[in-house]
Structure 1
């Protein structure tokens, strides 16, 4: 099967969508499918960044990666937007590839053109509802009223939900939101899988990473490590962990907190750590290579996850596969991943209760060993090798249903005259319907 995957977020941009797309694209390729990822071209500075290693480059990819020229956005330093005048390139490349199915993984410009290509070429269209934009937009456009942002977020997502032949949700919670949006279609629940090579472990490499870590942060030596892995962004509720650390240290002073990851909130979080007098007990590594994360999981004692807006929270699964017990706030995607106290403890948004479970795991070695074994077993449900065949089933279902679900007159988005019209009114029309009306 030939599969075209569209995404506005892809490496060197690191987030859950980028990881999901690459993981499934690699796994599909191993099963013999022909995959093309259509994504944005990033700036030279982003491509030179330390976290965009050679292994992550397009040249090393086992599937084809097509990048469309893009421009910066005003609301995010990390994200970019496709140049509308380059959309004709999408048509040419995809016509040559001739996909059997289009899989859209994001809702913005690349995703939009993917939907239009699917309609124009009558190709079956699968949409994965990765992100709750009605909750996230406030972090990117804080100057607009929240009720307006929620309406915009819903409208953008509903555009795809209405038109997709098959809808995929990574969790039951996201699937229920589809119904809340008034969409009566069936939803296939398919979480993002964890690549099998994520659990690979090398003793020499472990020694290298631990040596570098303690050389850079000597104040971590001899302490029990609480670990957070992920993007350092406001929506992750990360200052909550400072409250937890202070509470834990009241009874277990030799405890430290390690943040592995980078993001736009990193500098502010470092400053907050200093203001609260926690510099001697907190460390920030910045971005790390994906294949090295396993060693940080293995070095730590408890994985702490405070996010309340997570669609899935795949890092909790990665931690479990490494045998690291998890303590997490039981909201959004965490509920679907942990489903209770599997592999650790799922607690309310309460510092005292969160800290209490962390202390229990640090003090009681038998409890920690039991939860560690439980974590490995539970995390195994998310191995991508067992999930990819279910994704193929979704593609085959979309093919049976058929494409061309976008209502309205036959309009060639890639026609030169229409492109000129779009460029002239891009801000107004970018997410307009076929008849030019606002999105619902």
Structure 2
């Protein structure tokens, strides 16, 4: 089976989508052949085990996006690959390119929604800034419906996302979470802290992009409340993004600079070290389709605090393998304090979370994906 994956924000950018696409590409490479298509990023050289075709791109807001047009040369180049299907990784310009190629070459089209675009737009543009929000909303709505109606199958990582897509009158939607595969051997917690030079104190961890849609100012304000009860606690933020400078200034303004560590962007293998070193995981985002970071934290045996908004809460069974809190400072801080103050219960929640993560075993979920592929390639 030969599959073409079309993804917008790929390496050198690191995100949950990048991790998901790399994992999928590695699996497909074992089962057949995979070809990845992503926007051209000046100065970056791909070093993957699968071929990456870079599409003409334009810079915007610190990223590079594909030009949404298809040349005859590109059609001929893709035709030579003899693809069995095209799998879009979202309704972005690269997705428009993939859909046009699928139409010209008469290939089945599948699309995965990794991002709750409308919730992101609210975070990025401010819902009340209508001159900016409204055209962005209408463009995103058009792209989702345009591409969704051309797909033989749409994959949503959660029931939350599936319901949102159904509200747009899209059909043929299946729920397929992103698989998680932790390292076979995780370091001891205290050894991980020594290796990463982290303090031996209550340690709260967040991993992911430092961006507005992640609701990180809520986490900072909640952590300030935590310090009133636990002045030795430490918050570690692993990741980078456009909000980092503002977050650093906010922490300095609140007098938190000595208790908040900005670890920066890390490769996935090192992220697992941070997960092993932490006592608990905090995920304040309200805009997730599933919260891949939450799944990774659970696989590492960490109890997690999430908000009651977005798709991440589907991963958590409240009071059994984590806590679901309201998206406000007091409620989120209270949940963090409860876990810090009850180490035995915290450990039990972490153990349950780790058991639950077995549901995301890669071979089982990817086999379901292969079955979906076969259905659209050879419809009944």
Same fold flag (TM > 0.5): yes
Q: Distance between the aligned counterparts of 1:254 and 1:201, measured in 2? A: 29
Q: Distance between the aligned counterparts of 2:65 and 2:95, measured in 1? A: 11
> In structure 2, the residue corresponding to 1:285 is in which secondary structure?
strand
The Cα of 1:29 is off from its aligned counterpart by 2.0
Q: Distance between the aligned counterparts of 2:291 and 2:188, measured in 1? A: 29
- Name the structure 1 match of 2:199: 221
Q: Is the 8 A contact 1:68 1:86 kept in 2?
A: no
Q: Is the 8 A contact 1:133 1:153 kept in 2?
A: yes
Q: Is the 8 A contact 2:188 2:276 kept in 1?
A: no
Q: Is the 8 A contact 2:39 2:94 kept in 1?
A: yes
1:307 aligns with 2:273: no
- Name the structure 2 match of 1:406: none
The within-5 A match list for 1:164-313 is 164-183=151-170, 185-194=171-180, 196=181, 198-201=182-185, 203=187, 207=191, 210-211=193-194, 213-214=196-197, 221-313=199-291
CA separation of 1:87/1:81 partners in 2, compared to 1, >3 Å: closer, same or farther? farther
> In structure 2, the residue corresponding to 1:264 is in which secondary structure?
coil
Unpaired runs of 5+ residues, structure 2, are: none
Q: Is the 8 A contact 1:303 1:325 kept in 2?
A: yes
> In structure 2, the residue corresponding to 1:136 is in which secondary structure?
helix
- Name the structure 2 match of 1:19: 19
- Identify which of 58, 70, 81 aligns with 2:46: 58
- Name the structure 2 match of 1:121: 105
User: How large is the Cα RMSD of the aligned pairs?
Assistant: 2.2
The Cα of 1:72 is off from its aligned counterpart by 1.0
Select the structure of larger CA radius of gyration: 1
CA deviation digits over 1:164-194, x for unaligned, max 9? 01111111111111221122x2211111112
After superposing the two structures, state which structure 1 stretch, 20-29 or 340-349, moved more: 340-349
Q: Which has the higher contact order (CA 8 A, sep 6+)?
A: 1
The Cα of 1:148 is off from its aligned counterpart by 3.5
Q: Is the 8 A contact 1:6 1:104 kept in 2?
A: yes
> In structure 2, the residue corresponding to 1:372 is in which secondary structure?
helix
The Cα of 1:362 is off from its aligned counterpart by 1.5
- Name the structure 2 match of 1:35: 34
Unpaired runs of 5+ residues, structure 1, are: 48-56, 215-219, 403-440
> In structure 1, the residue corresponding to 2:95 is in which secondary structure?
helix
The Cα of 1:161 is off from its aligned counterpart by 1.0
CA separation of 1:294/1:228 partners in 2, compared to 1, >3 Å: closer, same or farther? same
Q: Distance between the aligned counterparts of 2:16 and 2:322, measured in 1? A: 22
The aligned length equals 377
Q: Distance between the aligned counterparts of 2:228 and 2:188, measured in 1? A: 36
The Cα of 1:379 is off from its aligned counterpart by 1.5
CA deviation digits over 1:236-287, x for unaligned, max 9? 0101112211221222211111100000111111011101111111110111
- Name the structure 1 match of 2:324: 346
The Cα of 1:204 is off from its aligned counterpart by 9.8
